[in-house]
Structure 1
Amino acid sequence: MSASEQFDGVAKSPSRITQLLPRVFVSLAAACTVLAGCASAGNVTTADRQDTFVVSASASGGRLAWARAHKRAVTAASDYCETRGMQASLGIEQMDGFEALQQQASTIRFECHPKL
């Protein structure tokens, strides 16, 4: 036994708190994962005007679900235009579901324009 493991000639055992810390960290990580939720986007569809498209995304879980839904819709629009060698020009956005812990949705109308 090393000198750091002894105190006045008595061996110290790990405290109860030290033994519980790994469990606490795992529990916190699991809770954060559940609250963070995930966002998903639907397929890009054509709108009523030529060269105008619509994409919807939704997210649930936590206070910032609306932000994850918005980000996912913007990413889907950007990716859609990028695959065509163009850039997205975002238009009107409609948000649904602003209550806490409710599923939130973002629907964005956009156009693809040549890159400058």
Structure 2
Amino acid sequence: MSNHVSDQMLDQERASVAQQRRSPLVGRARALVAAMAACASLVGCASATDVVATDKPGTYTVAASATGGRLAWARAHEHAVSEARDYCERRGMQSSVTTETVSGVQTMTAHASEVSFECHPTF
């Protein structure tokens, strides 16, 4: 009988040790999920207009906007530049940004970037 009781105590001790080992992992997983949710809420979204030809031959414009967080201007800039790059690459060329106009610098407002660019042959 004492053997049965000692087996139960050993099983409880093993379960306790296993729980202690899992607790830091569970806590870390919960912290990671919370951090990812917080980041996702700050990311916001970005959108761009279609590329439009300007009055100057070979020059185009595209505008992008982004919301959510302090770095929305960076996402708007990157989205506009990416659209320009993709537009030129689809034509077998590379983009060259000539001017950029930005607006909206306050937190939690829409930030925008309008890029004028040209497409040049790749070398």
Aligned residues: 111
Identity among equivalent positions (%) equals 45
The CA RMSD measured in Å over matched residues stands at: 2.7
Task: Show the counterpart of 1:12.
Answer: 16
CA 1:82–1:2: 2 relative to 1, 3 Å: farther
**Cα shift readout 1:66-101 (whole Å, capped 9, x = no counterpart):** 111101111100000011111111111000100011
Task: Output the TM-score relative to the length of structure 2.
Answer: 0.77
CA 1:2–1:112: 2 relative to 1, 3 Å: farther
- Normalized per residue, which structure has more helix? 2
**Cα shift readout 1:14-45 (whole Å, capped 9, x = no counterpart):** 47xx3872444322211111102232211000
Q: Which amino acid aligns with 2:104?
A: G
* Structure 2 residue matching 1:28: 3-state secondary structure: helix
Distance in 2, Cα, partners of 1:78 & 1:99: 27
CA 1:2–1:71: 2 relative to 1, 3 Å: farther
Say which of 66, 85, 90 aligns to 1:78. Answer: 85
Say which of 96, 103, 106 aligns to 1:99. Answer: 106
Q: Does 1:62 align with 2:69?
A: yes
Task: Show the counterpart of 1:52.
Answer: 59
- Normalized per residue, which structure has more strand? 1
